[in-house]
Amino acid sequence: MPLSARKFLRSVSGSFAPLLAILLIPMVAALGFSIDYTSAVSTRASMQNALDAASLSITTLATTTSLADRQVSLQDFYLANGGQGTAKLDSFVVATDGAASIKASAGFAMPTAFMQIARINTVQVGVASAVTKRPALTEATFKIDKVSGWWDKTMTLYGTKFGETNANKLMKIVYVHNRFGDPKGYGTSSVYTIDGTTETLVQKQVCTTTTVISFYGLPTGTITQISGIRKYATTCVNTGVGAVVNVTDMDNLSLEMKIPNPNPGLGGGYLPSGTKETLRSDDPATSDRLFIDKVKTPANTTVDIFTAVPCGITGSQAWEDGGSLTNNTIDDADFSYFVTGKCAFNKRASETVLTQ
């Protein structure tokens, strides 16, 4: 080691100690500031997550909840999710079409550990969150178009309320084949709304088929069929407006088509090979029997009825209940009905999206 270095290290004059102390002050301060900054970043991240969760949670409250109650819930959810400080509901606006936009913010005066050296006792940490919520289905109307087929069948709308697990029957359409012998096999369809154990008939379609010599001069709307040398004419008469179903309190909706085996004692009865007796919109194995606006549902798909029923306009749906989908087109389907939806602000969580 050089002589000058050894002398420097052996020096006891005390002239280096004050200098070292002076140099250590900014070094320690810089290290302390870095620790406080890292703590602030971590705190901000946890606050952001908590505020996002709280903002989403208040959109699932009942539509009658006041702004003051939403503010209380926002703060409660914010703290429950690890947020620090105070959360504030800055705005909660519902447009005339039911679309909602929510803005919230949160602030926290984070105590410092090392920055107090510079007389900075707290650091203000702030976060913001914004949520948009699309209008959700609150009312669905089902109205029979045309039903045919050689097997009786029943389609039922099931709904599961928020916070519940058991589905309730909300609506059903019962079809009875007329057994006349025409190729398509038209019959009588009855539409019911269901409230608990009470069923109310709200539409009935009675289709009557006869054989005719000629199709000339038949009334407008007559359905014509030919089988061999026989000509068939079918007329359908509708009464009622269809089933109007309130689904405001429903978190889940599904459709079920049941085709009862007409003669189960024969080990399969008259149902064609490959026919399933139960089809469901929420069963990926059978949902492809449902057509929505003339488009076949893709295989292995779960259908969300909330999005399958259009808002403010009339759409169409149809089921194919036979043994196979020959051409995979709407022509295969023989249980056709119209659907119309009314949409508004709803507490259904799946309609909510974070935008900030």
Domain spans of the chain, in order of start: 16-133, 137-350
For 293, left (φ over 0), alpha (ψ -120 to 50), or beta?
A: left
Amino acid at 329: T
Helix (H) or strand (E) holding 195: strand 187-195
Tokens of 336: 């056709």
End-to-end CA distance of the chain: 62
The pLDDT of residue 128 is 93
The pLDDT of residue 143 is 96
pLDDT along the chain (356 residues), means of 10: 55 54 55 71 89 88 86 93 92 85 91 72 88 89 92 93 92 92 91 96 95 91 92 94 93 91 53 70 92 92 91 92 68 90 82 63
* Angle (nearest 5°) at CA 311 between 308 and 313: 100
* CA distance to 74, 92, 218, 292, 351, per residue, from 69 (Å): 8, 12, 64, 40, 21
The pLDDT of residue 356 is 60
The pLDDT of residue 287 is 92
Which of 281, 248, 275 lies closest to 260 in space, CA to CA? Answer: 275
The pLDDT of residue 20 is 47
d(CA 120, CA 112): 7
Tokens 């939806």 correspond to 341
Cβ atoms of 51 and 106 within 8 Å: the answer is: yes
The pLDDT of residue 266 is 46
User: What crossing angle do the helices spanning 67-80 and 16-57 adopt, rounded to 10°?
Assistant: 130
